[in-house]
């Protein structure tokens, strides 16, 4: 009787309280994709500083080698690294087998790799939709398929980190293809948050707003001429409100060590998401205004105009 009551009380307690699976990165095996630049690179450096044993991958061979050298130069440990394409399932599976053999089961898996392209539906081509979904959604799914089951079987918990975006929370103009991938990984994360809980594996969903990474300078804006001074001015305005990759990395590390589900890298995204949920009509009006601004900019730039 007493034993059954104790079990019931424990079950009820666990509905409201979840332990932190990875309170510290010291000595933990941490996989980071997209580790050669931007948020991925900054997170790799920050995790190494916290004492993690890193497993790193990126599509860029030389840039990945530079990160490995940087981490080693500061006394950090890169247990394994390999360049490859996360959108290629066969490569990810092969990479995972090598990591299992060389390093063992991961304690933390971070899906950071991503690409972007913006544009209206009449300007976006199939290749834009396909590539973005392949890298930003199927890439993390491949990594989850190939690394998380081992964590479940081991039985000692861990943390899964998926990087979504403000575009995975809000209807940002011209982000339909990008949002398809980022809303998708948000959905995957929300389900896994509950599915993996019984195995002691936490899930963190990172939703960055503006982050000053190379992606900002190279993102393809289909329908806009980026050389147009008016477009350049808008991009420069984005830079002014963007946080540094190091600040984003610090938020991610805190999210892991505190087992936070929603991880924001700046206040504007947190506020915007709260506003969208609490004030539906004002949110719709704000999105219409933002969309009109993008449309006006497109007309000024003269790209995609039909005579």
H or E segment and range at residue 264? strand 262-264
Q: Which of 141, 189, 158, 161 has its CA nearest to residue 29?
A: 158
Look up 178 and say whether it is catalytic: yes
d(CA 44, CA 81): 12
Return the beta strands (E) in 112-235 as ranges. 117-119, 158-163, 201-207, 220-222
**Active-site residue identified among 80, 89, 178, 283:** 178
Phi, psi of 136 (to 5 degrees): -80, -25
Cα torsion through 18, 250, 110, 154, rounded to 10: -40
| All residues at 6 or more sequence positions from 228 whose CB lies less than 8 Å from its CB, including other chains | 300, 301, 302
Cβ–Cβ under 8 Å, residues 5 and 12: no
**Which residues are registered as beta bridge partners of 221?**
118
Tokens of 298: 């497109």
Task: Kindly report the number of other CB atoms within 10 A of residue 93's CB atom.
Answer: 13
Cβ burial, residue 9 (10 Å; 0-12/13-18/19+)? exposed
- Token pair of 214, please? 């190379």
- Residue 207's closest CA among 179, 169, 156? 169
**Residues with catalytic function:** 178
């Amino acid at each position: 009787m007493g034993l059954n009551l104790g079990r019931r009380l424990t079950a009820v307690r666990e509905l409201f309280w979840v332990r932190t699976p990875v309170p510290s990165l010291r000595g933990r095996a941490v996989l980071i994709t997209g580790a050669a630049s931007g948020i991925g690179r900054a997170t790799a450096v920050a995790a190494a500083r916290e004492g993690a044993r890193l497993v790193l991958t990126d599509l860029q061979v030389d840039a990945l080698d530079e990160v490995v050298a940087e981490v080693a130069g500061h006394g950090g440990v890169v247990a394994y690294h390999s360049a490859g394409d996360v959108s290629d399932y066969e490569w990810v599976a092969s990479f995972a087998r090598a990591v299992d053999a060389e390093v063992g089961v991961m304690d933390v898996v971070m899906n950071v790799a991503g690409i972007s392209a913006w544009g209206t539906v009449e300007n976006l081509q199939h290749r834009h939709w396909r590539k973005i979904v392949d890298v930003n959604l199927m890439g993390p799914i491949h990594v989850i398929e190939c690394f998380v089951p081992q964590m479940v079987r081991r039985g000692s918990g861990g943390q899964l980190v998926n990087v979504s975006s403000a575009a995975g929370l809000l209807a940002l103009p011209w982000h339909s293809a990008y949002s398809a991938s980022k809303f998708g990984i948000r959905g995957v994360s929300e389900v896994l948050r509950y599915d993996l809980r019984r195995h002691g594996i936490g899930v963190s969903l990172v939703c960055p707003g503006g982050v000053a990474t190379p992606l900002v300078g190279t993102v393809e804006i289909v329908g806009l001429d980026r050389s147009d001074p008016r477009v350049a001015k808008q991009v420069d305005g984005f830079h002014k409100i963007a946080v540094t990759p190091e600040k984003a990395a610090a938020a991610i590390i805190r999210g892991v060590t505190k087992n936070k589900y929603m991880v924001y890298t700046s206040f504007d995204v947190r506020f915007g998401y709260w506003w969208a949920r609490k004030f539906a009509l004002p949110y719709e009006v704000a999105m219409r205004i933002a969309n009109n601004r993008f449309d006006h900019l497109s007309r000024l730039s003269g790209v995609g105009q039909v005579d």
